[in-house]
């Protein structure tokens, strides 16, 4: 009887433990499913963050807040908004509430029960119009219907190929910009503000890289902003701004810089070094190899180098800009005609095919990195 009772108790205890373990698994599964549901909701409406930011930029809220020496009330913000009628305070309150949660602005709630006081942050500094570090024009450009429409064509592009921007707007982005002055102006303003940010990062993060350079060609340099700033910081350099003829004809004069018109797919002016900022990511691999081969012909065999300023993707990385790099790769699907961001291995393959067997990646304080490429394995 005793043995029988013990055996029965053992079975009962084992059954209880199994049931408890099973229950725990069910609870964990339920919690993970709930988290999954929450994440889908967040991703589904991720565009709301962009739209709230766009609203803040259009209303110049960052400008209003930063123009005061102390945090201000919602009424003060509303009274400073350029509007034909009094702004809708309830709408503004709700939009600001999300921006506060995203830590775009600060909120101070006085102990005397007064209204919330809104203050600036390091984030909001990048949203101030007419600042030398603003990203406001880029934000407005990237969230315009004409530039968001191509994102809706991704599934069609996966199924059938083609160019997303052309599917959405009837022509490729460069052609569209040439035919639509208002869009062209908005696009150029967006590119100009990001260029200023990257130029500053280059001058800070790569200042020692220009010491031995006597002459420098900026391939695809537009109106010469980048090379002129480099020459200003390194006056010993002879700067050459190289772009299509119709582009350089509108370029202003800069001390120490000459403008040369031409086609990078045909030939590039000779110099000690070549710099290309956000050029390679606009093109597919075959075109990039053509550009690199022309670069190699233009620089000295032993001492020359190419300085590529572009994103180096790290799909598994967790550095400050790694996530944004993946988003930029999708941006290239949306806006370019075959361009893409590349991993280090993809850059290595591209450089070798273009005649540059040695390279060095240098991090700078920006989304982009610097890829130094050399035509010889050793100095």
Specify whether 281 is catalytic.
yes
DSSP character string of 66-120: HTSSS-EEHHHHHHHS--SS---HHHHHHHHHHHHHTTSSEEE--TTSPPPEEE-
Q: Which residue has the tokens 């075109």?
A: 287
Contact assessment for residue 147 and residue 92, using Cβ atoms and an 8 Å cutoff: no
User: How many Cα atoms occupy the beta-carbon half-sphere of 367 within 13 Å?
Assistant: 18
Compute the distance between CA of residue 165 and CA of residue 334 in angstroms, rounded to an integer: 6
Contact assessment for residue 311 and residue 369, using Cβ atoms and an 8 Å cutoff: yes
Torsion-angle region of 58 (φ positive above 0: left; ψ -120 to 50: alpha; else: beta): alpha
Compute the distance between CA of residue 164 and CA of residue 365 in angstroms, rounded to an integer: 31
Could you say which DSSP state residue 340 is in?
-
As a 3-state breakdown, the chain gives helix, strand, coil percent values, each rounded to 5, of 55, 15, 30
Residue 326 to residues 82, 189, 279, 292, 360: CA-CA distances in angstroms? Answer: 37, 23, 17, 24, 21
- Look at strands 273-277 and 305-310 and give their pairing: parallel
Q: Which of 5, 86, 281, 335 is catalytic?
A: 281
Q: Give, for 146, the enclosing helix (H) or strand (E).
A: helix 145-148
Residues shown for the chain: 379
Compute the distance between CA of residue 314 and CA of residue 324 in angstroms, rounded to an integer: 10
Compute the distance between CA of residue 262 and CA of residue 19 in angstroms, rounded to an integer: 76
Q: In DSSP terms, which residues pair with 359 in a beta bridge?
A: 373
User: How many Cα atoms occupy the beta-carbon half-sphere of 90 within 13 Å?
Assistant: 0
Classified as helix, coil or strand, 379 is coil
Active site amino acids:
281
């Amino acid at each position: 009887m005793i043995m029988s009772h013990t055996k029965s108790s053992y079975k009962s205890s084992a059954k209880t433990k199994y049931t408890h373990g099973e229950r725990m698994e069910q609870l964990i599964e339920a919690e993970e499913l709930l988290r999954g549901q929450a994440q889908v909701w967040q991703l589904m409406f991720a565009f709301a963050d962009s739209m709230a930011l766009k609203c803040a930029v259009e209303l110049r809220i960052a400008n209003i807040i930063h123009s005061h020496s102390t945090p201000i009330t919602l009424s003060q913000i509303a009274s400073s908004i350029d509007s034909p009628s009094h702004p809708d305070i309830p709408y503004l309150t709700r939009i600001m509430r999300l921006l506060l949660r995203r830590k775009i602005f600060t909120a101070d709630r006085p102990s005397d029960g007064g209204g919330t006081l809104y203050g600036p942050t390091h984030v909001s500094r990048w949203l101030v119009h007419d600042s030398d570090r603003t990203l406001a024009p880029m934000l407005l450009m990237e969230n315009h219907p004409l530039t968001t429409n191509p994102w809706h064509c991704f599934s069609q592009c996966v199924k059938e190929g083609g160019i997303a921007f052309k599917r959405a707007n009837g022509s490729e982005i460069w052609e569209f910009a040439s035919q639509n002055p208002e869009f062209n102006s908005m696009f150029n303003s967006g590119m100009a503000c990001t260029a200023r940010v990257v130029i500053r990062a280059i001058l800070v993060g790569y200042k020692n890289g220009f010491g031995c350079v006597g002459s420098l060609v900026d391939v695809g340099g537009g109106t010469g902003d980048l090379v002129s700033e480099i020459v200003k910081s390194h006056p010993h350099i002879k700067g050459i701004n190289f772009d299509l003829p119709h582009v350089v004809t509108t370029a202003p004069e800069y001390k120490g810089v000459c403008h040369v018109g031409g086609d990078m797919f045909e030939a590039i002016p000779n110099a000690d070094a070549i710099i290309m900022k956000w050029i390679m990511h606009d093109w597919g691999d075959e075109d990039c190899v053509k550009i690199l081969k022309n670069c190699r012909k233009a620089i000295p065999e032993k001492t020359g180098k190419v300085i590529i300023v572009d994103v180096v993707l790290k799909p598994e990385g967790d550095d400050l800009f790694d996530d944004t790099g993946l988003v930029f790769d999708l941006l290239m699907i949306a806006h370019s005609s075959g361009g893409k961001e590349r991993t280090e291995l993809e850059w290595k393959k591209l450089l070798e095919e273009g005649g540059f067997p040695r390279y060095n990646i240098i991090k700078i304080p920006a989304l982009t990195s610097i890829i130094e490429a050399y035509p010889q394995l050793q100095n």
